[in-house]
Every structure is written in C-alpha cells, then in structure tokens.
Structure 1
Amino acid sequence: MRVLLITGKGGVGKTTVSAATALLAADRGHRTLVMSTDPAHSLADAFAVELGDEPTDVVPGLLGQQIDAQRRLESHWGTVRDYLAELFDWGGAGGIAAEELVVFPGMDELFALAEVQDHVSSGKFDTIVVDCAPTAETLRLLSLPDVLGWYMQKLFPMERRVARVVRPVLSRVMSMPFPGDDVFQAGEGFYGRIEGVRRVLADPEVTSARLVMNLEKMVVAEARRTYTYLGLFGYAVDAAVVNRIIPDAVVDPYFKRWRELQSEHLATVEDAFSDLALLRLRLFDEEMVGVDKLRIVGEELYGDRDPTARLATNTPFRMFDSDDEVVLALRLPLAERGEVDVVRHHDEVYVTVGPYRRSLLLPDSLRRREVTGARLTEGELWIRFGVRRG
C-alpha cells in the first residue's frame, strides 16, 4: 500500500503532477485512487472529466475523487457542533455568529484528510495519490493531528471527569448547557479517525510526500522550508519535482535571461534536495490537459521508475546509544541553527522550527534521563539524554 502526498506552492503544477502520477500508476497495473483535498478543486479539469464527492472512474484501474469537505464535517462533527452552537447561543452569540464559532479553522480539510484512512482500510486500492492544498494549508493540516493528540491525551480526559461531576449539580441551579456523554464520545471518535490518519501518513513505508516547484527564487525557498517542516512532524519526503524547465530547443533571445535564472535555481535545488529523487518536467508548448496529454507528462516525469515506489529512503525519527547517553534524532533537512529551539517539560520535549512546534512524548526509556544538549548535524536534530535520574 502506498500513499503519495503531492504538494507545492500554488500555481506550480501540483495537480497536473498528481493526475499524471496516478494515471501512470494505473497504467502500470496498480489499483489507484487520486483524490483532491484542496478546497479549490481542479483535478476534474486536469482529466477533463466530471468528478464528484465519491470515487469516480477515470480510466480502467483509476478512480478520481474531489472531496466535499463541508459534507464530511457535517457528518462527523454534527453532535459536537450542535452542543457548541447551543452553548454559544446561551452565551449570547446566536445565529450566524454561533455557526461560525463552532467550526475551527482547518477542520473541514482535516475531515477530508481522514478520508485517506478510510480508503486505506478498505483495501480497495494499491495506491492513493493525494492532490494537496498549497503548502501553507497543507502544513497546517498535517500539523493538526499532533496538536489534537496533545489535547486529547492531556486535557480531554480531565474535562470529561469534571463534566460528569459538576453536570448533575449545576444543571439544577443554572441554565448553562453542559456536554453529555454523546458529545465526548463524538470527540473521541473524531480523534480516533485523525489518529488513524496520523499513523498512516507518518509511516515512511506507506506514505511519501513529493514537493513540486518551479525554478523561481520564492518557489524554491518555500519548497526548502516545506521540506524542513515536514521533517519536524515526521513525514517522509522522497522526491522533488522541478516543473516547467525551459527546453534546450528554445533559443529565442527573449528567454535567454530566464534560462540563466533557471540554471542558477536548478543548482540550488540539486544541492538542497540531493538526498531525494529529483524529477524534471520541461515547459510544454501546450496545455497538458486530458488523459492523453497526462500520459505524456507521466512518462516524461518518471521514465522507467515505478511512480508508486519509495524513491528515496530516509528515516524521519530514530534513537541510538552514544557512549553513556541516548540520542533522539529528528530529521530536519535544511534547518538552520537560529530557527530551532528545544525545551524539555516533564515527559515531553517541545521542538520549534520557525512558526511550527511539535510536542514529542518521551518513551519510558528516556523519561528518567536528563537532556544534556541538542544540536543540528547533517540534516538531523540530535537531542542527547544523559545518565538516568534516581
């Protein structure tokens, strides 16, 4: 089973790459689903076919799906939403204001991502290709399972116990609505789905992210940051796709400076992503829309490679002994020293890179050890744990 996450800055051609990858996988015998979690769906436009909220046949062996995230949200969040709407209405924020407050930013996309877990569990597909939203939204989305996991493990059980104690008493003296067990059960069910997604996406044997970029300074810079942030949250990246390279056959003087700039940026890409498979696509002289054109894209992109294979092997997370210490190594490619911060708090280590933070719950073998230092080395953050306490 393989899950391929195709992401990149808006406008770089990630939907075309997603569609071409899925089509080539199907042509080579893999039962394939390509699905879009981008609220601004364009997957159907790429294939020039009609796609809806349920998997739809594109060609033999390939189905496509443009997920209706709002529908998923209403289906799985209804009980919690109704309670929160009642609570906000009691507090004076009724009507439209309450409806807006009960849905947190990113939740609709999160439920769309949960669909991946359902398809993996179904066993109907060998390969699932996900046409993700642009990188900023994708990073926010992929970080949510960690944030939600911390809340569910640390605060949710306490809130449920408190609610059970105070609900019978306070309901007699005040009109404020208190959550019932059905609300907490719905919350636990939601967390279970998202945790399932997390397990699938964080397994490098199953899931790989592929970064699509053009040879432009801002695009390459964003791809570099994305590579680092995906490492922070434990997602494996196996390929960088460089799209719209001006072919050698183009000799028009108008493109001379563009070719020089692309050459400079390509050197940067080759250096920054040297541990990944580097896939290249030329700038075509027409729109590559429809099944026939996408087949050309797929063949040029992958050649003899299996598009579903793990194109580069790297371990997002590992632990090893070093003298009397234990090292926890987190893969952070391209991270710079000044943007990384590590803090130990009880049984957790908080790692911050730029605007993103991840909480790492320490295994039993490390909880009684002191953090003795942390440093970046060859694309990894090494956190050292010394002699056991007590």
Structure 2
Amino acid sequence: MSLILTFLGKGGTGRTTIAIAAAKKLSNLGQRVLLVGQDPGPAFGLLLGVPTSPDPQEIGPNLQVVQLQSTVLLERAWEEVKKLEAQYLRSPTLKNVFGQELGILPGMDNALALNAIREYDSSGKYDVIIYDGSGDQATLRMLGMPEVFSWYIRRFRKVVEDSDVWKSVSPFIQPVTSAVLNVSWTGENFAQEPTKQANNLLEQGKAAIADPNRVAAYVVTSGDTAALATAKYLWGSAQQVGLTVGGVLLNQIPTTEPLAAEFAPLEISALPNLSASDDWQPLMDALPDFKKATQAPRPITVDIPARQVRLFLPGFDKKQVKLTQSGPEVTIDVGDQRRNIMLPPQLTGQSVKGAKFQDSYLTISF
C-alpha cells in the first residue's frame, strides 16, 4: 500500500511546484514515487520539463509521472462495467455501447481520478503517490466520495427494503433472477449481492482516508490575505471528509508568531522561491518530513467510556456548526460540507445529550 499525499490551497500559491518538489525529494530518498497530475493543460508538463502521457512513464530514478485524461479513464472504466454486466447477466445489454463515444459529465473527472489513484495504489508498484489536483473543495469532495457513496447505499437500501413496493415484489425475485441471471438471489440478499463488491471498495477507501499513514494533505499558502483565509477554510473542511492535514507550507513567506498561532498546532514549513527551473534542491530541502502527518490532530476521535465523539473543526466558529441526529447517525454541517457519522455499536441508538464547541473541537455527548 502507498502513502497518498495531496496539497490544498488557493490557486496560484504554488501547489503544483511543491508537488513536483515533493516527488523529487521522496524519489531521491529511494521511495518509488508516482506523481499524478489531473489538470490536462500544458502547465504540468512545462513545470516538469518533460512531455507527459495518460499512462505512467519514468522520468527519473524511482520517479514516474502520469497526467490523467478523463476521456481515456472513462473509456477504460466502461470496459470494466461491461465485464461486470456480462458476469451477472446472461444477456448483456451494454455490449453495443462503446467507451469511445461516451462524453464526460460534470463530476465524472474526480470520480475517475479517485478510481485511477485506487488502482495505482493497489498495483503495489509505488511507495508514495502524490496527487496534484485542484486543491480545493472539489478535491475534498473527491476524497469524501467513499464515505458519501456508502451512506447513500446504506440509507437507500434500507428505505427500499422497508417500502411496501419491495415487500410486494420480493417473493418474485428468486424465480426471476434464476431465469434471467447467472446467480440465484432471494428477496433477502437481492439488494446485497450487486453492491457487495462496491461496498468492499468503499470501505477500503474510507479506511484509507481515515488513516494518516495512508492518506494525508498539506495546506499551501502565500502571504496573500485571500490565500491565508482559503488555507484555513480548507484545513477545517478537510476534517469533514476525515482527511488529516499534516502541516502548513508557507510558499515564499517567512514563519511568524501570528501565523504559527493561526495554524496551531500544525507544523509550519517556510519554503523558498524556485530560483531556477533546474535547481529544485533548496525547495526540496525545505519540505517537511511527510511521515510526521500522523502527529497532527485527527479529524474525529471516539471515547466510548466517556460516551463522547470529538470532531476537530479548525477555522470555524460555533455559529457555523450545525448538528442534527436522525436514527443511529449524527450529521454535522460546516464549511459547505456534510458528514454523517456512523456511531459505534456501544453508542448506536443513543440520543445526543449535549454538544460543546471549544478550542476548535466539537464534543458530542451521548
């Protein structure tokens, strides 16, 4: 399994340059690194100084680079969908629809990118994968997809199973599936079988995002007021998808006590300007030890003996946090992000007795 790193921050703060420097540094340390660029424009290749392609190519010792192209990813993913359909249906219907003719719908880019990263991770070829995405809410929503999709499957499956329509048709499911499909599904497992593989992938994704040994982000900012405000906002918003932010990278500005206080307790690293396109060493040397991301505050902690759940929400105040409870789950709204928290069995079914927001932590008591 790989360590997956990404960088968050306002556009123009140097995220791509820092991602390239991080890839060079880690590959020089003997790590097998894959640098993934999502922007299909020419800037990525120009900064690297080499042509890029939609397939990984080696550009140095221990260092490979790939520039994602959504049309290529969609075409390949569609072929996998057709294989799955052929596995479950005796008479596949999608065989006459070809990936080469499919267009990209809004939101597909990030879903396809996340799946590509998952595949590169599972290949076992890389120790580190550095993802250079948009670095904003779109990146956070992408990394939050496993959590959100699993909620939709979990919640709507229950809604369907409890509906009168499902109760009426379920006795007929088994004979129909026996006649049409290659498997025999009963009314009890019909909703589970088609989604079992997807659920396994989603659970793996959720576990990876929640583990700073597997996935971590670093916030990048310049001295611009808007860049600093965006950095703080993205730091807090990252917590809503369970993503650990390991530190702050100050691009071309010095560390000051006020800045350190604003981003406490994160580690802050001041980075120099890339003085020449071929002299990356000063920037590489100034980068932090990315393994120390594990020392940053975790987005969520559960204290079962104290019957409490604590969420770390820096950059927001009490008025921006909304808490609701529906059934066994607790929902938190903050920073245009919504998170549904599945409670552990010991707290499932327990009502919220109180909530307190203090020192950037939301403490929920049951």
1:231 pairs with one of 236, 239, 255: 239
Q: Show the counterpart of 2:142.
A: 141
Q: Show the counterpart of 1:243.
A: 251
Q: Show the counterpart of 2:8.
A: 7
Residue 122 of structure 1 and its aligned partner are, at CA, apart by 2.0
For residues 145 and 133 of structure 2, the distance between their equivalents in structure 1, rounded to whole angstroms, comes to 15
* Alignment deviations for residues 87-138 of structure 1 (CA, whole Å, 9 cap, x no partner): xxxxxxxxxxx977xx653222122112222222222211111112131321
Secondary structure of residue in 2 paired with 1:43: helix
The 1:320/1:126 distance shift into structure 2, 3 A limit, reads same
For residues 70 and 268 of structure 1, the distance between their equivalents in structure 2, rounded to whole angstroms, comes to 46
For residues 366 and 244 of structure 1, the distance between their equivalents in structure 2, rounded to whole angstroms, comes to 47
* Structure with greater proportional helix content: 1
Q: Show the counterpart of 1:338.
A: 319
Q: Show the counterpart of 1:255.
A: none
Residue 314 (1) aligns with residue 315 (2): no
CA RMSD of aligned residues (A): 3.5
1:271 pairs with one of 261, 267, 270: 261
The 1:342/1:311 distance shift into structure 2, 3 A limit, reads closer
Contact 1:220/1:269 (<8 A) preserved = no
Q: Show the counterpart of 1:357.
A: 338
Question: Which blocks of at least 5 consecutive residues in structure 2 are unaligned?
Answer: 86-100, 174-180, 184-190
Contact 1:6/1:211 (<8 A) preserved = yes
- Equivalent position amino acid for 1:294 in 2: W
* Alignment deviations for residues 211-232 of structure 1 (CA, whole Å, 9 cap, x no partner): 1111111111111010111112
For residues 294 and 342 of structure 2, the distance between their equivalents in structure 1, rounded to whole angstroms, comes to 30
Secondary structure of residue in 2 paired with 1:45: helix
Q: Show the counterpart of 2:284.
A: 298
Q: Show the counterpart of 2:215.
A: 207
For residues 157 and 47 of structure 2, the distance between their equivalents in structure 1, rounded to whole angstroms, comes to 43
Contact 2:246/2:290 (<8 A) preserved = no
- Equivalent position amino acid for 2:324 in 1: V
Q: 1:126-205 maps to which residues of 2 (within 5 A)?
A: 126-156=127-157, 162=166, 165=169, 189=197, 192-205=200-213
* Alignment deviations for residues 321-380 of structure 1 (CA, whole Å, 9 cap, x no partner): 57xx51111121222100001111101100000321111112211113221111112222
The 1:277/1:193 distance shift into structure 2, 3 A limit, reads same
The 1:41/1:274 distance shift into structure 2, 3 A limit, reads farther
The 1:344/1:208 distance shift into structure 2, 3 A limit, reads same
Residue 13 of structure 1 and its aligned partner are, at CA, apart by 0.6
Secondary structure of residue in 1 paired with 2:52: coil
Secondary structure of residue in 2 paired with 1:25: helix
Residue 328 (1) aligns with residue 309 (2): yes
The 1:105/1:356 distance shift into structure 2, 3 A limit, reads same
Q: Show the counterpart of 1:30.
A: 31
Q: Show the counterpart of 1:86.
A: none
Secondary structure of residue in 2 paired with 1:20: helix
Secondary structure of residue in 2 paired with 1:6: strand
Residue 187 of structure 1 and its aligned partner are, at CA, apart by 6.6
- Equivalent position amino acid for 2:268 in 1: L
The 1:239/1:164 distance shift into structure 2, 3 A limit, reads farther
Higher relative contact order (CA 8 A, sep 6+): 1
Contact 1:8/1:135 (<8 A) preserved = yes
Using the size of structure 2 for normalisation, the TM-score is 0.79
- Equivalent position amino acid for 2:15 in 1: K
For residues 281 and 230 of structure 1, the distance between their equivalents in structure 2, rounded to whole angstroms, comes to 22
Count, aligned residues: 332
The 1:240/1:41 distance shift into structure 2, 3 A limit, reads farther
For residues 208 and 334 of structure 1, the distance between their equivalents in structure 2, rounded to whole angstroms, comes to 18
Secondary structure of residue in 2 paired with 1:124: coil
